[in-house]
Amino acid sequence: MDFELSDEQRMFRDTLRSFVEKEIVPVASEWEREGRYPTEIVETMKELGLFGITVPEEYGGLGIDMVSFALVFEEIAKGWMGIAGILGSHSLSCWMIARHGTEEQKEKYLPELATGQRRTAIALTEPGAGTDLQGIVTTARRDGDHYVINGTKTWITNARYADPIPVLVKTDPAADPAHKGMSVLLVEKGTPGFSVLKDIPKLGYKGTESCEIVFEDCRVPVENLLGGVEGRGMQQVLSGLETGRLNVGARALGIAQAAYDAALVYSRQREAFGQPISDFQAIQIKLADMATKIQAARLLIYWAASNADKGQRVDMQSGMAKLFASEVAVEVALDAMRIHGGYGYSQEFVVERLYRDAPLMTIGEGTSDVMRMVIARSLVSGKESIG
């Protein structure tokens, strides 16, 4: 059992770390307060090939292993979680097209998605359906050689830049069970009837937009049905969410690590009663708990990613990793703020931003309670076990 990164993975991590420290960390807090879109950072990510991390090499991507995939989101989230969000939705969508698309769809979209010339997102959530995806009401009616989409999606990251955007729809609203009537359609930017209404104001997760989008008699060619067969949308989405949970878990790990790093540095510098506060037992206990939880989360994420690299289903593993890491991110961000005292509440210190970013990790790609149900379902069914 090897708990170490390979030399190649370590070099990849170091390249990511250098990029984050030079181009993201110095501007993240200022740009977040200004509401500025990180265009320059996106351009560097294109140059590094990061938009192609889930695109197979034969289509021009990096096709990296899942441990390296987790490293991408851990390192970038340490600098600014919003940047990781730009890459996260894109990577999930690329993975779905690469895994489930027809050969024509792969050839049309993946080479340009790999370079960032095209970018993408994924449209699942609706105003009345989040966790319960079978409850969506967006429909796509077949009309000759087109589908006509009507409905609304919300909380869509990258919505203003996505081309195409995979949209989960009901091609057979009367199907029972509902998932048998669900499909994914690839909607290209500029298609008549497809519009982005507004950016949704958020507590954290800034830098990238989260939008409400609407489809009004939006006509999409039949050849844009992902995989070319109706009724497979739910399975396609759920398989993609396995990688999505590794992505979010790794982002949570990055937030927790950044919060711990800031707290450790501050505790060594801040003095009280004539000595650094890091000398006080109360602070030492907090730091020890933070470091232990972070390392446990890291091992869970790498374990889940390693199993995914073996070609295994990782519902339980990715669920455990995402559940634990996201809860740790919230706990560690709050403890880092407490160690900073009043300064932790100031925008002049990074922990204030990390504290606002952390809670989304317990919600995105399935809430913590949903993760518990995913884990329990795997255990109760006998498909997975521990020990």
Strands 146-157 and 210-221: antiparallel
Residue 1 has pLDDT above 70, yes or no: no
Residue 126 lies in a domain: no
CATH number of the domain enclosing 326? 1.20.140.10
Considering its fold, how many domains does the chain have in total?
3
* Number of Cβ within a 10 Å radius of residue 275: 9
Q: In this structure, are 171 and 104 located in the same domain?
A: no
Query: Each residue of 133-145: pLDDT tens digit?
Result: 999 999 999 999 9
**DSSP string spanning 16-74?**
HHHHIIIIITTTHHHHHHHT---HHHHHHHHHTTGGGTTS-GGGTS----HHHHHHHHH
Residue 127 lies in a domain: no
Residue 325 lies in a domain: yes
Residue 123 lies in a domain: no
Q: In this structure, are 141 and 85 located in the same domain?
A: no
In which band, very low, low, confident or very high, does the pLDDT at 130 lie, cut at 50, 70 and 90?
Answer: confident
The domain boundary residue, chosen from 82, 115, 148: 115
Q: In this structure, are 339 and 248 located in the same domain?
A: yes
Q: In this structure, are 165 and 287 located in the same domain?
A: no
Which candidate, 155, 226, 146, places its Cα nearest to that of 192? 146
CATH number of the domain enclosing 76? 1.10.540.10
Query: Each residue of 274-315: pLDDT tens digit?
Result: 999 999 999 999 999 999 999 999 999 999 999 999 988 899
Residue 125 lies in a domain: no
Q: How many angstroms separate the CA atoms of 206 and 353, rounded?
A: 10
In which band, very low, low, confident or very high, does the pLDDT at 2 lie, cut at 50, 70 and 90?
Answer: confident
Residue 167 has pLDDT above 70, yes or no: yes
Q: In this structure, are 256 and 300 located in the same domain?
A: yes
Query: Each residue of 52-110: pLDDT tens digit?
Result: 999 999 999 999 999 999 999 999 999 999 999 999 999 999 999 999 999 999 999 99
The domain boundary residue, chosen from 198, 230, 262: 230
Q: In this structure, are 328 and 191 located in the same domain?
A: no
Q: How many angstroms separate the CA atoms of 70 and 254, rounded?
A: 10
* Number of Cβ within a 10 Å radius of residue 340: 23
Which candidate, 228, 244, 225, places its Cα nearest to that of 95? 244
Catalytic residue list contains 8? no
Q: In this structure, are 259 and 368 located in the same domain?
A: yes
The domain boundary residue, chosen from 179, 202, 230: 230
Residue 303 lies in a domain: yes
Map residue 276 onto helix, strand or coil. Answer: strand
Q: In this structure, are 216 and 352 located in the same domain?
A: no
Q: In this structure, are 241 and 377 located in the same domain?
A: yes
Q: How many angstroms separate the CA atoms of 251 and 297, rounded?
A: 11
In which band, very low, low, confident or very high, does the pLDDT at 3 lie, cut at 50, 70 and 90?
Answer: confident
Residue 386 has pLDDT above 70, yes or no: yes
Instruction: Name the active-site residue from 75, 126, 212, 365.
Output: 365
Residue 177's pLDDT is what? 94
Handedness of CA 158, 198, 74, 233 (dihedral sign): negative
Q: In this structure, are 278 and 300 located in the same domain?
A: yes
Q: In this structure, are 244 and 377 located in the same domain?
A: yes
Is residue 351 within 8 Å of 335, Cβ to Cβ?
no
In which band, very low, low, confident or very high, does the pLDDT at 385 lie, cut at 50, 70 and 90?
Answer: confident
Q: How many angstroms separate the CA atoms of 142 and 346, rounded?
A: 54
Q: How many angstroms separate the CA atoms of 94 and 214, rounded?
A: 22
CATH number of the domain enclosing 197? 2.40.110.10
Structural domain range at position 180: 133-230
Residue 85 lies in a domain: yes
Q: In this structure, are 262 and 371 located in the same domain?
A: yes
Residue 312's pLDDT is what? 86
Query: Each residue of 322-347: pLDDT tens digit?
Result: 999 999 999 999 999 999 999 999 99
Residue 350 lies in a domain: yes
